[in-house]
Each structure stands twice: as C-alpha cells, then as structure tokens.
Amino acid sequence: MVVVENTPKVHNLVVCTLCSCYPWSVLGLPPVWYKSAPYRSRAVIEPRGVLREFGLELPDDVEVRVWDSTAELRYLVLPERPAGTENLTEEELAALVTRDAMIGVAKVVPPQPEGKT
C-alpha cells in the first residue's frame, strides 16, 4: 500500500481507469461512483472538474496529483489536518476522517461548533 499525503500545496486523488482497483483491506469495497465510467474517464484528464463536482474547489496554486492504480499497488490518501483541531485527541481526529477524504475527493472538515447546523 502506498499512502500519499495531502498538504496545503498538494492534493492527491486516487482512481483506477482500467477497472476498479481500490484498497479493499482498509476501505472495504468501493462505492458505485468510483467504479463508474464518469469518474474513471475524467479523473485523469480533468481532476479539478471532478473535484468541483464533489464540491471541492482547489486554488490554482495547489498541485494536483492523480494516482492511477494500474498495478497491484493500492493507494490511500492521508488527508490534511483541518485547522482548529490542535486540541483534538487521536480518537476525535479519526472520527472526522471519511472514506471520501481517503480517496481524495473530499477534505476532512473540522467539527462544527455546538448548536450550529
């Protein structure tokens, strides 16, 4: 398994253009959209547009790295730690991490203040 780290300047995205390779042992079976033609076809040619469809707009100065899982290596994104989480425990941080963030189509969102929706 290869883990690729997101930083304020680098955003990683995982795809399998040829079939549906995915880190089963860590994330379970992939969601339908990950295996679908729209995602597989466009993630490599138009990653910023794909991310926009997921509601993630990346600034121009961020470097996008797409990982096409063409061999038996499996890729996992280590999401960027969100601001304002300095006092959270490992357990609380782990609870914020989503499957989508580990594929690279979402960021980890800091916990919302109490009473706000």
Partner 1 sequence: MNGIHDMGGMQDMGPIRYEKNAPVFHAPWEGRSFVLNLAASAWGRWNIDARRYQIELIPPADYLRMSYYERWTERLVELLVKTGLVTREEIESGKPAPGSPKTPPPLTAEKVRVFSSERNARRDVPVHPRFTVGHRVRARNMNPTGHTRLPRYARGKLGTVHLDHGVYVFPDTNAHFLGEKPQHVYSVRFAARELWGDQAAPQDSVYVDMWDDYLEPA
Among 3, 5, 7, 29, binds partner 1 (CB under 8 A): 29
Point out which span in 70-78, 80-88, 89-97, 109-117 binds partner 1 (CB under 8 A).
70-78
Q: Could you give the CA distance from residue 104 to residue 51 in angstroms, rounded to a whole number?
A: 9
Judge whether 75 and 23 are in contact, CB under 8 Å: yes
Beta-sheet pairing, 63-68 with 10-15:
parallel
Nearest approach, Cβ of residue 114 and partner 1 (Å): 24
Minimum Å gap between C-beta 79 and partner 1 is 18
Q: How many residues bind partner 1 (CB under 8 A)?
A: 45
41 is catalytic: no
Q: Residue 83, interface with partner 1 (CB under 8 A)? A: no
- Residue 103 host element (H or E): helix 99-103
Closest CA to 7 of 65, 79, 92, 88: 79
Which residues make beta-bridge pairs with 64?
11
Closest CA to 13 of 72, 80, 68: 68
Piece of 52-60, 76-84, 85-93, 107-115 that binds partner 1 (CB under 8 A): 52-60
Please report whether residue 45 would count as binding partner 1 according to CB under 8 A.
Answer: yes
Which residues are at the interface with partner 1 (CB under 8 A)?
Answer: 1-2, 15, 17-21, 24-25, 28-29, 31-33, 35-48, 50, 53-54, 60, 63-74
